[in-house]
Amino acid sequence: MVLAAQVDIGDEYLAQPEEELCARIAGRKRELGDRLLILGHHYQQDAVYQFADATGDSLKLARFAAEAHDRRYIVFCGVHFMAESADILTADDQIVILPDLRAGCPMADMASREEVEWAWRELAGVADGRVIPVTYVNSSALLKDFVGNQGGSVCTSSNAERVLTWALARGEKVFFFPDEHLGRNSAYALGIPDDEVVLWRRGEKLGGNSAEQLRRAKVILWNGYCTVHMQFKAEHVAMWRAKAPGVRVIVHPECRHEVVRAADQYGSTEGIIKAVSGSPAGSIWAIGTEVNLVNRLKHQYPDKQIHSLSPFQCLCSTMYRIKPAYLLWVLDHLARGEVVNRITVPAEVAAGAKVALDRMLTI
Ligand code: 13P
Ligand code: SF4
């Protein structure tokens, strides 16, 4: 994915105290009223998250966007692929805006359409039976378009097992990209034996597998990963179990398989919030996901002991690019009737991508 350059918004915004920026954002929100919908992913920093009209995990936010027929402007406080999906799911006259164009996702960049199409052709040369492609929503619109055209579906971290089941009912194999770990954890949860799950290493012939391995495989995983969730280790789980007897460990399924297996449970960001909020007072949690969400839960539930699973700060630096200064900058423009940082997926790409997204929303 090549992101358009973010313009320098200048000291008029960047040098202002956060308090003043927030007061001005609140004013602009009032002014724009029902024309505006601000969506906020759970990894957003609090100063931005507080302005979201709706918050959620990737699936919930995609649904909000798809149902926001009455809103002219959708300002997406999240990352680029989320804004692209929102644009695909909304009408042509609705405008989706990403406050800082540098807010990409490193994992989404690990599988380009060219690379996947190349692998697809190689796979077709050796695999018997039908292969169904499934792309994690953390991927470019170009890749979603490819998947839609090849009879596959998008999935998110909260429905990956369901989508995998759907795909395996339609074909002999699933080609799952870009996140190896979400794919492996979901395949394991469905009881697919380890030797029927293989890794496709980009840049290697047949992804580094023999033709026989690929013929036997049920699930073929791309070797992409989330740089944030890779920081959680199985030894962190052991550390918390030793340090805090009774602790419950909950992690995101983008974590490595050994971490997910060592944890008590796993779930999407929305799933993690539900589990923690529904637990009794006095519960102890070690959470393996992005630090802004963990800190928010810590403040929201002072009657529970909430910790990050890792001793290190696991911050998604691209999510963190959405700052109050950039949110105010886009809203100031909207108030003047000007649109900046619009995310538009070309119609010829959006068509197939919408098929893949709609399949997910109906599975
Ligand atoms: P969910 O919010 O869907 O769990 O996804 C997490 C994530 O990494 C988004 O990029
Ligand atoms: Fe991408 Fe990981 Fe950040 Fe999510 S948390 S946006 S997967 S880098």
The pTM of this model reads 0.97
Instruction: Compute the distance from residue 235 Cα to the ligand 2 centre, in Å.
Output: 22
13-62 pLDDT per residue, tens: 999 999 999 999 999 999 999 999 999 999 999 999 999 999 999 999 99
DSSP symbols for 322-336: --HHHHHHHHHHHHT
Backbone angle region of 207, left / alpha / beta, with phi > 0 → left and psi within -120 to 50 → alpha: left
Q: Tell which residue, 197, 183, 326, has the closest CA to residue 255.
A: 183
Contact call for residues 330 and 342 (beta carbons, < 8 A): no
Residue 140 in this model has a pLDDT that exceeds 70: yes
Question: Is 3 a residue whose pLDDT tops 80?
Answer: no
- The domains located in the chain, with CATH, are 11-103+318-348 (3.40.50.10800), 108-222 (3.40.50.10800), 229-308 (3.40.50.10800)
- Give whole-number Cα distances, 5 to 104, 204, 251, 345, 354, in Å: 12, 32, 34, 16, 26
pLDDT, averaged across the chain: 97
**Probe residue for ligand 2, chosen from 139, 222, 319 as the CB with the greatest number of ligand atoms within 8 Å:** 319
Which pLDDT belongs to residue 1?
44
Q: CA-CA distance, 48 to 331, in Å (whole number)?
A: 13
Closest ligand 1 atom to Cα of 228: 8
Q: State residue 128's pLDDT score.
A: 84
End-to-end CA distance of the chain: 28
Region 328-335: mean pLDDT is: 98
What's the chain's Rg over C-alpha atoms? 21
pLDDT tens readout for residues 187-243: 999 999 999 999 999 999 999 999 999 999 999 999 999 999 999 999 999 999 999
Mean pLDDT over 325-343 rounds to 98
Whether the per-residue pLDDT at 266 is higher than 60: the answer is yes
List, for residues 58-89, the tens digit of each pLDDT value: 999 999 999 999 999 999 999 999 999 999 99
Whether the CB of 308 sits within 6 Å of ligand 1: no
Is 138 touching ligand 1 by the criterion CB < 6 Å?
yes
- Per-residue pLDDT averaged across 253-262, rounded? 98
3-state DSSP assignment of residue 200: strand
Instruction: Using the atom order of ligand 1, give the atom closest to the CA of residue 290.
Output: 8
Phi, psi for 285 (deg, rounded to 5): -125, 140
Q: From the alpha carbon of 267, which atom of ligand 1 is closest?
A: 4
CB 220 within 8 A of CB 200: yes
178 CA to centre of ligand 1 in angstroms: 13
- In this prediction, residue 159 carries a pLDDT of 97
Give me ligand 1 centre to Cα 268, in Å. 6
pLDDT at 350: 98
Atom of ligand 2 nearest to the CA of 78: 6
pLDDT per residue over 120-138, tens digit each?
999 999 988 999 999 999 9
